[in-house]
Amino acid sequence: MSVRVRRVYESPEPEDGVRVLVDRLWPRGLSKDAARVDEWPKALTPSTELRRWYHAGEGSYEEFARRYEAELAEPEAAELLDHVRELTAKGPVTLLTSAKTPEESHAAVLVRLLG
């Protein structure tokens, strides 16, 4: 199983495999052609409320990750997480995010849960 995280603004690479955008909002200033996104499962991304709470600096990353994992346990998100897990069984998957620090973002939580 090969899952990696890259910023969506980085140029696509052949070893990316299936490119999955894991942000709820489309990245600013990026065309869909340039992004070369294969899948965009919006229900797998943090809720608008959680995203706003975290970006407002009201809590720690650990608390954000805990709340996000609770959201991922909901049926629609859990189904999408299983789908991405199935993709990883078939080949490399790259989770794309516009987060400036992907290692402290929802993408890192997804990588941990997919592993």
Listed as own residue / partner, the contacts of 88-91 with beta carbons closer than 8 Å and 24 or more positions apart are: 88/1, 88/2, 88/3, 88/114, 89/1, 91/2, 91/17, 91/18
Per-residue model confidence as pLDDT tens digits over 25-81: 999 999 999 999 999 999 999 999 999 999 898 889 999 999 999 999 999 999 999
Is the entire prediction scored with pTM above 0.75?
yes
* Pair of tokens at residue 92: 């490399």
* Pair of tokens at residue 51: 């995203």
Per-residue model confidence as pLDDT tens digits over 98-112: 999 999 999 999 999
Contacts with 45 (C-beta within 8 Å, 6 or more apart), sequence order: 22, 23, 24, 51, 106
